[in-house]
Amino acid sequence: MKRTLLTVLTLFTLAAAAFADPVIYDEPPLAPQSAVVMAQGGSFAANASGFDALFTNPAGFSTGKASFTVLAANPWVYAFPSQETLDGITAIASDPVAGLKLLSPLFTDSGTGVGVLAGAGFVGSGVGIGVIVTNDTFGFGSSLIGTSVDSTITAAAVAGLSLPLHLGPITLTPGADVRPMYRLSARGMGISNFVGLFAPGGSLDDIKADVLAGAGIAFDAGLNVSLGPLTAALVVRDIGNTTFAYSVNSFADTVTALSSFTLPEGTPVDSTVAQYSIPMSFHAGLSFHPDLGAFSSLIDPSVHAEYVIPSFTDLSSVVWNNIHVGADIGVLRFIHLRAGLNQGYLTFGAGIKLLFLDVNVAYFSRELGDYPSARQNQAVTAEVALRF
């Protein structure tokens, strides 16, 4: 009798596990820290155009002049070093312990990290097509030794269309794109592992962290409604959530595979147990771009704002953290002065285009805490592009 009951309970347990919902883990969206976008407070839904429209709003494929980006390189650095941390960098060679102690605030205050975007593409006449590779690496902890590092590398191809529809004085511009991606994601890596990696006798096996590797396909849609100088935009990115078919690999195996120009092959993640997805996000924007006629060659201003719902499954985020406001003033058609508010923090930057060389820089801050001013993370970002 006991054996029969045990068998029945086991069957019920297996059945419940089979029909149980998998645990959903949120993946970061494809949102490079573009110097053009971040200088304008992160607002770009209603004024998306050019290369940056590839990862903001596909309706922007019909906005502005067509542009061909042969190559764009856009690195960024999170956190500003103080004089104390700068002294720590120079002190490491002579006194590693004292130097690392001085460096500690970089990670314990609001975190620090680096990232880069490299890409190419054509955007214009209703067509958007391009390739983008990004890396975003960030470390934060209660102490330097206890700092945890997350790093994500994403390679994406983007292809989409938009079509302006003129209805009297109003222009409706719907747009959509498809975005296949391949991602490598390592989380919770101990910074002490990296220090040991460069020590005598250090090896890749010293980094005890799993790397998730796999592909996913995303779909985005946007709609611009324009009336004279006013444009309203609605954008939905990662429609239906973008799920990655991940495998789990060791850090050493991942580096070894990539150095041999192959993709890592590890243990596939059971999708009935765990799923890794970029949550669907909603963006609403409004821009005002007056036509100054003959004076537009001298000065060309625009102002805009965007509200973001980063996840439809979690609407509890602070309203102020989702607001982005920006402005761009074109001067003599080749200089751009930009400023804005990103989650309540001031941003600013500038850009200059000489023939085919496009250079843009920006300073911005982002909020990493649960409420405004809880954990300000400062950053600088710059873009150098060959663009026609």
Query: What string of DSSP letters covers 55-67?
Result: GT-GGGGGSSS-E
Q: How confident is the model at residue 68 (pLDDT cuts 50, 70, 90)?
A: very high
Chain centre to alpha carbon of residue 341? 18
Structure tokens at 235: 């954008």
Phi, psi of 85 (to 5 degrees): -70, -30
Residues 251-280: tens digit of each pLDDT: 888 988 999 999 999 999 998 899 999 999
pLDDT at 196 (0 to 100): 59
Lowest mean pLDDT among 17-26, 43-52, 111-120, 127-136: 17-26
Q: Are 153 and 138 in contact, with CB atoms under 8 Å apart?
A: no
Cβ 327 vs Cβ 302: under 8 Å: yes
Cα gap 2→5, rounded to integer Å: 5
Q: What percent of the chain clears pLDDT 90, i.e. is strictly above it?
A: 66
Tokens of 203: 């090896």
CA torsion angle for 313, 246, 140, 102 (degrees, to 10)? -170
Distance of alpha carbon 255 from alpha carbon 249, whole angstroms: 10
CA distance 321 to 102: 31
Of 290, 377, 371, the closest CA to residue 327 belongs to 290
Q: For residue 285, which of 37, 57, 125 has the smallest C-alpha distance?
A: 57
Domains and CATH numbers, the chain: 26-387 (2.40.160)
The half-sphere exposure of 226 on its side-chain side, counting CA atoms within 13 A, is: 22
Average pLDDT across the chain, whole number:
88
What does the pLDDT look like over 78-94, one tens digit per residue?
987 777 777 777 776 67
Per-residue pLDDT for 2 more than 50?
Answer: no
**Is this model's pTM higher than 0.85 or not?**
yes
Structure-token pair, residue 358: 């496009």
Burial readout 53-71 (b: 16 or more C-beta within 10 A, e: otherwise)? bbbbbbbbbbbeeebebee
Cβ neighbors of 264 (< 8 A, separation 6 or more) are 184, 211, 213, 247, 249, 253, 254, 257, 258
pLDDT at site 93? 66
Residue 11 pLDDT grade (very low, low, confident, very high; cuts 50, 70, 90): very low
